[in-house]
A and B are shown apart, each in its own frame.
Chain A
Amino acid sequence: MRRHAAFNRASKLAVPVLLLLAAAIPWLTSNPYYLDIVVKVFIWTIVVNGMNIIAGYTGQLSLAHAGFFGIGAYTFGLLMTKAAMPFLPSLVIAVLVTGLVGSVAGMISLRLKGHYFAIFSLCVGVVLLLVIEKWESLTEGVRGLLGIPIPKIGSFEFASMTSQYYLMLFFLVLTMFVNHRIIHSLVGRTFIAIRHSEELAEALGINVMRNKIIAFVHSTVLAGLAGALYAGYIRFLGPDIASVEHSFDMLLYLLVGGIGTLWGPLVGTALVMILMQWLQSWQEYRMIIFGPVLVLLVLFLPYGIIGTLTRLMHKRRLGQPLTQKQAVERSVLHDQSLAGGGE
């Protein structure tokens, strides 16, 4: 029991310690190469957090998220370049536009269930990609959108790597805070109830369709935010950022970290992206190794890293009840409804 209390204290400390560590990173290394990787990890973690809400907590596997990332990025990029709008309004409008497109896409696609939804969402993603690629008069097509100005708030320019780093850190922390609040609330319980059994949720008076749309829109808003931040960071856009492979990448990060867990997106994204950088020198052998590793991972570590850890922790304290948090975080893969084939 005492160990349990000590453990609780430790986990309470973990978040502030992590935050301090994150804030200190630019002081620990000034190597722009490392900072660049971390910034990208943060950006992708934000969109993977979005995917986690719809796929992990609500049980609807969306493969359209690279498309929404692209919409956020291009809306932001076009507002900054062609409309010459300032940074913050561009960011807000980009996020809103993505959410709007997300709500329309959600209203159509969420009527489908199981694999049908997954495949349909994949097609929605392709449509978004093709629109970005082919609408050359607006997006410049495959030539790419060049010369996005440096983000600026007031007179402060996010020109240095360090300032960009803190900008991303701020939005990442905000994203995870919001998701934490959602997951551990009646709204989150509603999502989980839908993932667990749509039939039961309906019988309990939950408007399943409406809640799925809310979850979907929230997840596309995060995708749009990540896309806009990406555009402001890289300052050049090509249609390939919206390509279907990126949706698969996100799913991969999510699964490696632990789908349906709060920390899974961060852990999975960081681990896979850093691993990829590390394997960069292996050139063409990279994917030859990585593909099988992925298969081995789903075969032998199906709950992801965070999912497996929480399960192990629970095993050690067998006989003690699960807290709500643990129940929420370790249960996702037991639900048959998750991306399950509709009857």
Chain B
Amino acid sequence: MPLGVMEMELFFQQIVNGLVLGSIYSLVALGITLIYGIMQLPNFAHGHLYMLGAYLTLWMMTIYGFRYWTAILVSVAALFLIGMLLERLVFRPLHNAPHINSMIAAVGVMLFLEAVARKLWGSDYRRLDSPYGEVISVFGVTITQQRVIIIVAAIILMIGLNLFLKRTVIGSTIEAMAQNREGAFLVGIDANKVSLLTFGIAAGLAAAAASLAAPINLVYPSMGAMVNLKAFVIIVLGGMGSIPGAVIGGYILGLAESISGTYINSEYKDLVAFVILILILTVKPTGLFAKEAR
């Protein structure tokens, strides 16, 4: 095989890997940006909801013998409820308090969830076996089925979310409120109900992302921390509260990490996100997609 072809294959392989990574990042970032848009709350605990989602799927499969997709559904439903519970018990009462307080509350939630995970499932690294471990070949690029599933499922979820936001009454209410909370209040939108639902959806998305990613990564109590940080990098760059910003930013970061990991140095892969952020903000302090403030 000529060298050029091999290089091309390696390159496409990295593109696919980047899309897989990007799918996960986008789903997590979407949740954070939705919550920020509705509640102006940077939810630092979001990565830990992600972690909880992965464990629940693993749990359903190993203890109760659920099939992969059933387990994911249970996990997403559970996280939807947990998300709403957190909104109701922790973040809603803090809505009018100084922002720093809700950030601290998020840290409290984070510590709690991680401790609960350690208590229930121990600190070991666990593997979630996917029924889709087979390797397939698409246009000469070898790829496991699970990776294809991640990419496709993420796209379906995003289209679904978009339809929900555009086509349903409650969805468009969420969008209206993300744009203007006071205005939404004036036209009689129940802000509390919207916040509740948004938190549920965001947590559900995190659970879906984590369950999809679990077979290609490991499951452990602090697995959400780095994903969380990177999702924050994405929404800072994409504009906090912006939905397209989160999706595009997620894919860009996934691709950047995967490509630089191959061609530069995989040791520094985790640094890529933060270096990109610092470089861009040094040149353009308002972020990539921010509108000019009036």
Binds B, one of A154-162, A185-193, A295-303: A295-303
Chain A, Cβ-Cβ closest to B275: A127
B261 nearest CB across to chain A (Å): 13
Q: Which residues of A have CB within 8 Å of B229?
A: 122-123, 126, 244
Complexed CA–CA distance, A111 and B93 (Å): 31
* Partner of A259 from B97, B100, B115, B270 at Cβ < 8 Å: B100
- Contact, CB under 8 Å: A341 / B40: yes
**Interface of B with A (CB < 8 Å)?**
36, 40, 42, 44, 90, 93-94, 97-105, 107-116, 118-119, 225, 229, 232-233, 236, 240, 267-268, 270-271, 273-275, 277-278, 281-282, 285, 287, 293
Q: Which residues of B have CB within 8 Å of A122?
A: 229, 232
Contact with B along A250-284 (1 / 0, CB 8 A): 01100100010000000000000000000000001
- Contact, CB under 8 Å: A124 / B281: no
Chain A, Cβ-Cβ closest to B42: A115
* Partner of A108 from B112, B233, B278 at Cβ < 8 Å: B278
| Best-surrounded residue of B36, B44, B102 (most CB of chain A within 10 A) | B44
Complexed CA–CA distance, A333 and B98 (Å): 6
Complexed CA–CA distance, A341 and B40 (Å): 7
- Contact, CB under 8 Å: B99 / A339: yes
Compute the total of residue contacts between A and B using a CB distance below 8 Å.
139
A245 nearest CB across to chain B (Å): 8
A67 nearest CB across to chain B (Å): 11
Q: Give the residues from 104 to 129 in chain A that come closer than 8 angstroms, CB to CB, to chain B.
A: 108-109, 111-112, 114-116, 118-120, 122-124, 126-127
Complexed CA–CA distance, A335 and B99 (Å): 10
Contact with B along A325-343 (1 / 0, CB 8 A): 0000000010110111111
- Contact, CB under 8 Å: B232 / A248: no
Q: Is A130 an interface residue (CB 8 A)?
A: yes
| Best-surrounded residue of A108, A115, A295, A299 (most CB of chain B within 10 A) | A295
Q: Is A321 an interface residue (CB 8 A)?
A: no
* Partner of A252 from B99, B107, B271 at Cβ < 8 Å: B107
